[in-house]
A and B are shown apart, each in its own frame.
Chain A
Amino acid sequence: MKLLKFLLGLVLGCLVLVLPVSQFQPDTLDSVRSLAVQLDGRKKPLDTVANETLAKIHGSTTYKTAEGTTEDALTTYLALWFNTRNWNEEPIVLMSYRPLKEAVGLDLERKYFTFQELMTNQSLGEIVKQAHLDELDDKTLDRDAREALIVEDRLTLLFASVGDKSLPLVPHPDDIKGTWVSLEEATTLYEPETVAPLLAEFAMMQQGLLRDFNSHLEMIGQIGTTFKSQLSELSPTVYPTTATLQREVGFNHFHPFAKAWQIYALAFVVMLVALWVKPWELYWGAIGIFSAGIAVNAYGFWVRMQIAGRPPVTNMYESVVWVGFGIAAIALVFELVSRSRYYLLAAAPLSVACLILADSLPAVLDASISPLVPVLRDNFWLSIHVPTIALSYASFALALGLGHVALGNRLFAPAATGRFKTLSQLNYRVLQVGVLLLTAGIILGGIWAHFSWGRFWGWDPKETWALIALLCYLVPLHGRLVGWIGDFGLDVFSVVSFNAVLMAWYGVNFVLGTGLHSYGFGTGGSGMLILGVVGLDLLLVAIAAARHYGWFTQAVASAELSSAEAQPE
């Protein structure tokens, strides 16, 4: 019966994956999607180029035109590439930072602006110019200047993409690592008569699209098929196989990480129902759904590893997704051992939060797959050290979740003293895993540092903060031995100590901004927002502590309580 329910949940989870079914139907543009382009140090399908370009210019992978229709990245990219619209006057460039809009006198209510509006804005030009001068002088740029530079990058990319004649579509004849060329330069590598049909097909596509964009898309697909096979025949050994290109296109469209959070959220809801409606016995169903989510998440990582050809965790984006996955996976293991429900309940919202965060902040967490810097390359230790550390962060995040569940219970269900004890014990187990993984991770990092920098330990800020984080968890675990810290203390520490993890994970790169570990992490996000969330969370802890120790009279405590309800956890 349990197994049946579990399988039922699993199937239900998988149903989320395949819906809507239309996503698997091949559309007419598949051949164009999987045209190979050599860009930014690797070969990728045009679909990825389209996604990355639109995400960078527009901050999203879909574009809503002035007429109100929503286009996918490829359609917009084709319109850019073949220059079928007046891109001077399409409001496509994202500029959302309010103070900068204020400073240069743009409409505060708009998020997207036209190329023309921004290029002719003198004060924006001045800010960009000054920012470049300051960059030359090694001055630290303020937020306005950094945002202005980002806008400049978007404008440059937009300018380069419209009617782009230099897209490297033509493979190198023999060298697998050789530089590809554009159609216009194809004659430098191949005989003119070989290149002629390609040019003709390209011209046909362009003419078709210029005449009437939407009605000719189907025709583009047909010409694209011939076009692609001819390109591939130019240099069959160098041109990526259709399977390789399709794999990446499929990955772009399947959105495994987005699907995973939807399934986690579903599992969370089902588990809540299971908690309240005991007779339905939905527990195993929820576990089944949750497992489906983990499977999708893991599959996503597997495909991404194959596409990138490197270990799973090499930058901030991947680490956030990996932590989301780690929280769920560790929770599932503990759930299967303890059958307590709380692991899943604590883990699911956190995993969902991590995955949504990774999906929605492309400026801070860049999801694009680009080549690694030399230090990280060709490295056995990278593939162990970083995932281990990130898994320890995941354990501590799970402890954070359990800590919140426990503190919430103490605030809103103060009578359930039995539950407090249980939750605290569940929490303790997760902390153990975290301590073991973090210690192992730090030591693995030391071994790598021994090879790479010549010393096991050198008090680099990232190393030091990892150690600080470890100490922040060792203190309560030792304090517990002499009775200084009880069940409540452990819950509080599991919440408060996570700030040290946040600092080690994110803060060292963005707050301190020093040290050897600063590769591949873009600009920081909004510091105030993060501080605000941390501050609210600490306030919640303080309220719970006030309640627990009876710092205030009953009247004050209940007033606090009502204000606490307004706070997000």
Chain B
Amino acid sequence: MLNLATQFTRFLGSVKLAVPLMTAIAAILIGATFYESEVGSATVQLQIYKSWWFGLLMFLLAANLGVSTLTRYPWRGARKVGFALTHFGLIVLIAGSAAVIHLSTEGMLLVRTDSAANSQVRVEGDLLEVIAPDGRRQQTDIFVKPDGSVYPPQFAGIELVSYSDNAIKTVEFREGGAVDNRAVRLELSSDRMGQTLERWLAIAPAAYSDLEVGPAQLQLMHADTDAELQGLLSPPVAETHLLGVLQIGAQDIDVEQQSFTPIALPDGVTVTIAQLWPDFRLDRDGLPSSASSEFRNPAVQLEVTQGETSERWFVFAQTGFEPIRSGETIALDPTALSYTPPKQTPSDFFRVVESPDRELFYAALSSKGFKSGSLALGQSVTPGWADFEITLAESLDRARVQRSIVPVTPVAVPGGAPQGSPALHVTLADGTDTWLPWGEPTTVASSAGDYYAAFSPKLLQLPFSVQLDDFIVERNEGSESVAMWTSAVTLTDAHRGDRVQRRVWMNHPTWFEGWKLAQASWNPGDLQQSTLQLKREPWWVTALTWLGSVLVVVGIATMFYAPALLKRFRKARAARSNAVSPGATTASEVSETGETPATEAIPDLAG
């Protein structure tokens, strides 16, 4: 038994364990860095570097280092001393680094020059706080993996299904309204975009009868008569006057066709359409221009002449806007002039129409054309926008509104900002399925009673407050590139009555009550704002890393170079004192495995 223990200890401290262990660690680290470039740092930190098995591996390495050093005691000779120093130093470093990762507190503090002092640090990660129906209160850190799954998968009897950073509050419809109110649930799917989304449409409330979904409008309409039904199901009439119509008295003039051709009016007045501004505005130099090609604020520029006089008139489409004219001499009634812009070309749409006898029909317009037909539950229609397919998934006769949070998979619009906010998808034991919005405490009803749940950012209260007095951005001479940014802050501890002013800039943090404040980032667009990194770790952790660092470097240097230096020194001393005692130095030069160090005996080939 004892023998076995000795053998185990010997193995634990052997080079034969160290070499495979180091090889394994190197291999894991190589894999981890490549994995990191795929999935990002946060995931790798959680799955590998902070995982229990990696910790175990590090512990095994530390054990190997420790046992190997202890079993080779006493450390005779400079080489052995160096070996012991290095290995002990490494153990201390591993312990210190692990302590930094696990025992330190770190967070970001946003401060502004134009707002009050801040004392709440935003710690990385999110928090879920739950009060169960039995009144028990629990909280946990939430970690979201890149695929949207959540860790921990289960908490306080709630199953945490997934996370979306783009959820919006919307409504669902349920059967059970007091009056007839048609509601339909449409499923839109696109293989090419790899997405499926759902939308509810309802006759009432009106906001839900017409929705925009990126590529097109979704509409739900009710037809009271068959004629109306026919109208809703026929293709939209194309605009014939592509640039609109100018009315002069009773005369209609097509702008596209009659531009630049003088139009004769009574009293020798001629009008020429000189220019069309679809989105009229004055530019920086006060000259007329069009902000876009959309007909948002259309205006027509006319050259009005009478004999020798010539004036420039601007006729606006907006009602209640008299023409602006460059002179007042020409006798032409300004109120007789008006301009009707072209009707907006209808955008693509998918329209569900309820007939007077409550049958469902559809009409769809896309760049590929118009189609219409009857629509049954489960039927799929391809309206012609990319490869989108629309399915009628559900239809309710007497729908009533039920508010809820649902994740939205937005149709990818290049450059479009996400409109939603983060939310957590949870299910309860009784099958209740709901979303918890980020930063808003929510009550979830279940058969067992009400759950109170809050999915919120993780905050930490500091014992002091930080006020940003000034944010100084220094730039490189003659250029816009930033040389340095500095936060001038006032740190106030109300309890102790301490109040100090400090400056924090890159690589130059400041310390206050055990907290380290460092300049983290800034917002180039808002120079009144600065983000500080706040960090606190026990003093002994810092001490451990310093100690370990010194031990390792001194140890390696001693191990490699002290024997040769000592030998030379002794030789020199022996030569000086003339009292030679050979053999005294060689005994200590043998390494732990009895191998002669290879640093010795380099033949002098040059001689």
A contacts, CB < 8 Å to B = 38-43, 133, 136-137, 168, 177-180, 283, 338-341, 371, 374-375, 377-379, 381, 422, 424-426, 428-429, 432, 435-436, 439-440, 443, 446-448, 450-459, 461, 464-465, 467-468, 471-472, 474-475, 478-484, 500, 508, 512-515
Give the CA-CA distance A232 to B475 in the complex, in Å. 24
Q: With A38-B478, A41-B481 as given contacts, are A481 and B506 in contact (CB-CB < 8 Å)?
A: no
Give the CA-CA distance A467 to B32 in the complex, in Å. 13
Question: B210 on the interface (CB 8 Å rule)?
Answer: no
Question: B484 on the interface (CB 8 Å rule)?
Answer: yes
> In the complex, which residue of chain A has the Cβ closest to the Cβ of B605?
A340
> In the complex, which residue of chain A has the Cβ closest to the Cβ of B45?
A459
Q: Which residues of B contact A448 (CB under 8 A)?
A: 507
Which of B41, B484, B556 touches A374 (beta carbons < 8 Å)?
A: B484
Q: Is the CB of B19 within 8 A of A482?
A: yes
Task: Report the minimal beta-carbon distance from A238 to chain B, rounded to whole angstroms.
Answer: 10
Q: With A283-B606, A338-B604, A468-B29 as given contacts, are A454 and B533 in contact (CB-CB < 8 Å)?
A: yes
Q: Which residues of A contact B25 (CB under 8 A)?
A: 471
Q: Is the CB of B22 within 8 A of A40?
A: no
Give the CA-CA distance A435 to B599 in the complex, in Å. 14
Q: With A439-B552, A443-B552 as given contacts, are A338 and B507 in contact (CB-CB < 8 Å)?
A: no
Question: B16 on the interface (CB 8 Å rule)?
Answer: yes
Instruction: Give the number of residue pairs across the A-B interface with Cβ within 8 Å.
Output: 187
Q: Is the CB of A468 within 8 A of B30?
A: yes
28 contacts between A and B (CB under 8 A): A40-B479, A43-B477, A338-B606, A339-B604, A339-B605, A340-B604, A340-B606, A378-B484, A378-B505, A422-B605, A429-B602, A432-B560, A451-B509, A452-B506, A453-B533, A454-B106, A454-B518, A455-B101, A457-B100, A459-B44, A461-B37, A467-B29, A468-B26, A480-B598, A481-B592, A482-B15, A514-B36, A514-B40
Give the CA-CA distance A41 to B41 in the complex, in Å. 34
Q: Which residues of B contact A177 (CB under 8 A)?
A: 477
Task: Report the minimal beta-carbon distance from A332 to chain B, rounded to whole angstroms.
Answer: 14
Q: Which residues of A contact B552 (CB under 8 A)?
A: 439, 443
Give the CA-CA distance A422 to B602 in the complex, in Å. 7
Q: Which residues of B contact A461 (CB under 8 A)?
A: 33, 36-37
Question: B319 on the interface (CB 8 Å rule)?
Answer: no
Which of B414, B542, B549 touches A443 (beta carbons < 8 Å)?
A: B549
Q: Is the CB of B37 within 8 A of A42?
A: no
Q: Which residues of A contact B40 (CB under 8 A)?
A: 514
Task: Report the minimal beta-carbon distance from A200 to chain B, rounded to whole angstroms.
Answer: 25
Give the CA-CA distance A356 to B220 in the complex, in Å. 71
Q: Which residues of A contact B415 (CB under 8 A)?
A: 136-137
> In the complex, which residue of chain A has the Cβ closest to the Cβ of B508?
A378
Q: Is the CB of B478 within 8 A of A440?
A: no
Q: Is the CB of B22 within 8 A of A432?
A: no
Q: Which residues of B contact A512 (CB under 8 A)?
A: 33-34, 36-37
Q: Is the CB of B33 within 8 A of A464?
A: yes
Give the CA-CA distance A512 to B545 in the complex, in Å. 28
Q: Is the CB of A451 within 8 A of B19?
A: no
Q: Is the CB of B553 within 8 A of A440?
A: yes
B contacts, CB < 8 Å to A = 14-16, 18-19, 22-23, 25-26, 29-30, 32-34, 36-37, 40-41, 44-45, 49, 93, 96-97, 100-101, 104, 106, 414-415, 475-479, 481-485, 505-509, 516, 518, 533, 535, 542, 545, 549, 552-553, 556-557, 560, 591-593, 595, 598-599, 601-607
Task: Report the minimal beta-carbon distance from A240 to chain B, rounded to whole angstroms.
Answer: 12
Q: Which residues of A contact B482 (CB under 8 A)?
A: 374
Give the CA-CA distance A468 to B33 in the complex, in Å. 10
Q: Which residues of B contact A439 (CB under 8 A)?
A: 552-553, 556
Q: Which residues of A contact B505 (CB under 8 A)?
A: 374, 378
Q: Which residues of B contact A168 (CB under 8 A)?
A: 478
Give the CA-CA distance A450 to B481 in the complex, in Å. 26
Q: Is the CB of B37 within 8 A of A514?
A: yes
Q: Is the CB of A514 within 8 A of B592?
A: no
Which of A42, A474, A508 touches B22 (beta carbons < 8 Å)?
A: A474
Q: Is the CB of B507 within 8 A of A378?
A: yes
Q: Which residues of B contact A482 (CB under 8 A)?
A: 14-16, 19, 593
In the complex, besides A454-B104, A457-B100, 15 extra interface pairs with C-beta distance below 8 angstroms are: A40-B476, A43-B477, A339-B605, A425-B598, A425-B599, A439-B552, A443-B549, A446-B549, A471-B22, A471-B25, A481-B591, A481-B593, A481-B595, A512-B34, A512-B36
Give the CA-CA distance A22 to B300 in the complex, in Å. 73
Q: Is the CB of B476 within 8 A of A371?
A: yes
Give the CA-CA distance A554 to B351 in the complex, in Å. 81
Give the CA-CA distance A283 to B484 in the complex, in Å. 52
Q: Which residues of B contact A428 (CB under 8 A)?
A: 598-599
Task: Report the minimal beta-carbon distance from B36 to chain A, rounded to whole angstroms.
Answer: 6
Give the CA-CA distance A465 to B33 in the complex, in Å. 8
Q: Is the CB of B599 within 8 A of A456?
A: no
Q: Which residues of B contact A340 (CB under 8 A)?
A: 602, 604-606
> In the complex, which residue of chain B has the Cβ closest to the Cβ of A337?
B602
Which of B18, B507, B595, B605 touches A452 (beta carbons < 8 Å)?
A: B507
Q: Which residues of B contact A379 (CB under 8 A)?
A: 507
Q: With A432-B560, A475-B23, A514-B41 as given contacts, are A42 and B606 in contact (CB-CB < 8 Å)?
A: no
Task: Report the minimal beta-carbon distance from A176 to chain B, rounded to whole angstroms.
Answer: 8
Q: Which residues of B contact A457 (CB under 8 A)?
A: 97, 100-101
Q: Is the CB of B595 within 8 A of A446?
A: no
Give the CA-CA distance A443 to B533 in the complex, in Å. 22
Give the CA-CA distance A452 to B37 in the complex, in Å. 23
Which of A178, A341, A514 touches B477 (beta carbons < 8 Å)?
A: A178
Which of B18, B545, B560 touches A456 (beta carbons < 8 Å)?
A: B545
Q: Is the CB of B477 within 8 A of A38?
A: yes
Q: Which residues of A contact B607 (CB under 8 A)?
A: 339
Task: Report the minimal beta-carbon distance from B41 to chain A, rounded to whole angstroms.
Answer: 7
Q: Which residues of A contact B553 (CB under 8 A)?
A: 436, 439-440, 443
The 5 closest A-B pairs by CB, nearest first: A41-B476, A339-B606, A454-B535, A471-B26, A457-B97
Task: Report the minimal beta-carbon distance from B85 to chain A, rounded to whole angstroms.
Answer: 12
Q: With A168-B478, A513-B37 as given contacts, are A456 and B598 in contact (CB-CB < 8 Å)?
A: no
Q: Which residues of A contact B602 (CB under 8 A)?
A: 338, 340, 422, 425-426, 429
Q: Which residues of A contact B33 (CB under 8 A)?
A: 461, 464-465, 468, 508, 512
Give the CA-CA distance A451 to B481 in the complex, in Å. 24
Q: Is the CB of B476 within 8 A of A42?
A: yes
Q: Is the CB of B606 within 8 A of A341?
A: yes
Which of A43, A377, A464, A515 touches B484 (beta carbons < 8 Å)?
A: A377
